Amino acid sequence: MEVLFILILASLCIAVCFLLAFIWSIYSNQFDDVYSPGERILFDDKQVDNSK
């Protein structure tokens, strides 16, 4: 069952990648505002010119 170690290592690697991403997101203030992002996507961009 040595292959377990490959799978666990591979899974851990991914988990570590995600952990890094998580820590990055915390430190870069991604989640400081948990209100406006949900609202923001509702505002569509105005169609400036349809002929293009």
Partner 1 sequence: MDTFFYDNKIVKQFGIATLFWGIIGMMVGVLIAFQLAFPALNLGIPYTTFGRLRPIHTNAVVFAFVGNAVFCGSYFILQRVLKTRMFNDLLSKIHFWGWQLIIVLGALSLAMGYTTGKEYAELEWPLDILITIIWVIFGINMFGTILKRRERHLYVSIWFFIGTWVTVAMLHIVNSFELPFSWIKSYSLYAGVQDALVQWWYGHNAVAFFLTTPFLGLMYYFVPKAANRPIYSYRWSIIHFWALIFIYIWAGPHHLLYTALPEWTQALGTVFSIMLILPSWGGMLNGLFTIRGAWDKVREDPILKMLVVSLTCYGMATIEGPLLSLKSVNAYSHYTDWTVAHVHIGALGFNGFMIFAMLYYLVPRMWNTTLYSQRMANQHFLIGTIGILLYAIPMYWAGFAQTLMWKKFTDSGQLQYQFLETVTRIVPMYIIRGIGGTLYWSGAFLAAYNLFKTVKQGKFVNNEPAEAMPLSKQALPSKSLHWHTAIERRPVRMLILSLIVVALGGIAELVPTFLIDKNIPIIASVKPYTPLELQGRDLYVREGCYTCHSQMIRPFRDEVARYGDYSKSGEFIYDHPFQWGSKRTGPDLHRIGGKYPDSWHYNHMRSPQEMSPGSIMPSYPWLYKDVLNTSITPAKIKAMKRMGVPYPDGYEDKANSDLKKQSEVIAAGLSSNGIHIEPDKEIIALIAYLQRLGTDIRK
Point out which residues bind partner 1 (CB under 8 A).
1-7, 9-23, 25, 28, 30-31, 33-35, 37-42, 45-50, 52
> Distance between CA atoms of 26 and 22, rounded to whole angstroms?
6
| The residue count for the chain | 52
* CA distances from residue 2 to 13, 14, 15, 48 in whole angstroms, order as listed: 17, 19, 20, 60
